């Protein structure tokens, strides 16, 4: 019974934080966000909202990509893109999300490059034909691998 009450209180705090537009303000740890469906998680990390330091940036300007996945780690290139790859000993990455169904029609999935060191199943999750699902899969990966920094 105590576990059910704790889960209810945690999810209530999460729902309250999301309703206020700031998922980072929740008194939950990052792992609690994994219970959200794709739409809820996308809403939790766009429009200036974050989970820890994880977010999805929407670029309507001149950037090459429409969606960028960001996490806490700053790469050697000065960017917070997630995940990072290893090019000649440098940890770099913009976090550009494959999004052929969204503005800018980004058809390339950079994460299939072996320098990212991702297993095929993860690449499959990151490289579908649905940009929103791809971005959410990347953020879920960041949460699972504790790359979002502290979540209050």
Q: Are the C-beta atoms of 119 and 93 separated by less than 8 Å?
A: no
Question: pLDDT-based confidence at 86, cuts 50/70/90?
Answer: confident
- Mean pLDDT rounded to a whole number for the chain: 85
The answer to whether residue 96 scores a pLDDT higher than 90 is yes
Global pTM value: 0.81
CB-based contacts of 34, cutoff 8 Å, min separation 6: 140, 143, 144
């Amino acid at each position: 019974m105590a576990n059910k009450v704790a889960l209810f209180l945690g999810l209530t705090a999460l729902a309250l934080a999301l309703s206020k537009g700031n998922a980072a303000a929740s008194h939950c740890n990052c792992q609690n966000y994994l219970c959200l469906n794709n739409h809820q998680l996308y809403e939790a990390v766009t429009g200036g909202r974050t989970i820890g330091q994880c977010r999805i940036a929407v670029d309507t300007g001149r950037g090459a990509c429409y969606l960028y996945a960001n996490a806490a780690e700053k790469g050697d290139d000065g960017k917070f893109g997630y995940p990072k790859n290893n090019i000649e000993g440098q940890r770099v990455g913009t976090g550009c999300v494959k999004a052929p169904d969204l503005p800018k029609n980004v058809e390339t999935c950079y994460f299939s490059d072996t320098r990212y060191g991702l297993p095929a199943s993860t690449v499959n999750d990151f490289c579908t034909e649905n940009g929103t699902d791809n971005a959410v899969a990347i953020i879920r990966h960041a949460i699972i691998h504790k790359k979002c920094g502290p979540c209050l």
